[in-house]
Structure formats: structure tokens, C-alpha cells
A and B are shown apart, each in its own frame.
Chain A
Amino acid sequence: GENVEQHPSTLSVQEGDSAVIKCTYSDSASNYFPWYKQELGKGPQLIIDIRSNVGEKKDQRIAVTLNKTAKHFSLHITETQPEDSAVYFCAASPGAQKLVFGQGTRLTINP
């Protein structure tokens, strides 16, 4: 089955700097890669996703890149703000339903 590895487990950046979180997956059949943001006491919130027929997708300060050959994908957050502080999860799936999640990255934005 699918296995997703996520790094780093914790990340601390200065406000205004960029943050990058990386994930690798094992199943070449996976074709859907969402990223979720989870704040304390809440459920995961979808922030961006990418399908396997696309190499990069951007939404304002957030971008995701996908390298199918190497089986890895990354989340990039630019111009970070204090409200970006949260736990971020990557996931992979062959069809968007049975998501396999990474272990999460705790991002802290320092003012």
C-alpha cells in the first residue's frame, strides 16, 4: 500500500520568510496530492491540492510542486504570517478518497 513520508517534523521561520515542507510517496498509482492545515482543536482544512497531470499549482502565497518521477511533492508558503502557524499534513491517494497522510509538520512563524 501507499506510504507517505513528510519532513521536517517541526519548522520555525521568521515572519515574512518562506517555508517549505516536503513529502515523498511510494505508490506510483497515486494521482492526487492534497495539503491540509490543522489548527489546535480543529479538523484538517484543505488548503491546496494537485493532480498528477500537473507539475505545479499556485494559490496566492501557497504553491505546491510535484515530481512524479522522483515521487515527491512540496508545499511552499511565501511571505509567512503569524496565522500560518499550524500543523500541515500532506497526503496521497490513487483516487482522492482513501487518503494516506504524512506525519505532519508543526510550523511556527516567529514575529
Chain B
Amino acid sequence: NAGVMQNPRHLVRRRGQEARLRCSPMKGHSHVYWYRQLPEEGLKFMVYLQKENIIDESGMPKERFSAEFPKEGPSILRIQQVVRGDSAAYFCASSPGQGVNSPLHFGNGTRLTVT
């Protein structure tokens, strides 16, 4: 059973470009979460999605950032007009449902570097 798949593993963008990060959840999982990790820090919640719905985006910056989880295909985290402060590791997690009986399983992340 494949785990959470994220691609690309590494992404380099110049300031002002767009970054698209993809996440395929574990088989059977319909809940997807995005977290951001700055160097030497813990993970910070960004957004929680179910198929075609954003459930909680309270951790996502209001501008330049968007996320989707379409009916078909992977979840996408999109960062427009990237700035150096966007450089971080972005992790996707998935779960089969809600609540304490549905723990989160993380992918290996996408490391975004903005030059």
C-alpha cells in the first residue's frame, strides 16, 4: 500500500514565479492536509480539504496561496508570486476520516527554494 506521495521532492523558483505542489493521498483516504515546516521548527497547519471542499483554511495566508482537492487527481497547493519567505518544506498528510481514530499519515514533503 503506497503511502502519501508528494511531488516534486525539490522545487526551485525565482521570486515572482508560481509554485505548484502535488499530493496524492494514501489509497482509501479522502481527507488531505497541508503543513509547512521552516528550518529547525515544527510543522504549522495550513489547510484541510476533503474531495472538492475546503474544510479549514485558517492556517493559510490570505493572499497568493490556494489549495484544491478535485474529484479526480491529486491535491494541489499553489503559491503565486513566490517570495523568499515562502522557502520551506511543505508536507501533505492524509487520513481516511475524521476524529481520533483517523490519524494523519505524512508524505516526504516538497522542499521549495525561492531564489
Contact = CB atoms under 8 A, between A and B. Distances in A.
A96 B95 CA distance: 10
Contacts of B56: 97-98
Interface size bucket, B side?
20 to 34
A101 B42 CA distance: 6
A43 B6 CA distance: 10
B100 A32 contact: yes
B25 to A, nearest CB: 13
A96 B106 contact: no
B103 interface: yes
Nearest to A45: B106
Interface of B: 4, 6, 31, 33, 35, 40-45, 48, 56, 58-59, 91, 95, 98-109
Interface of A: 4, 6, 31-32, 34, 36, 41-46, 49, 51, 89, 95-104
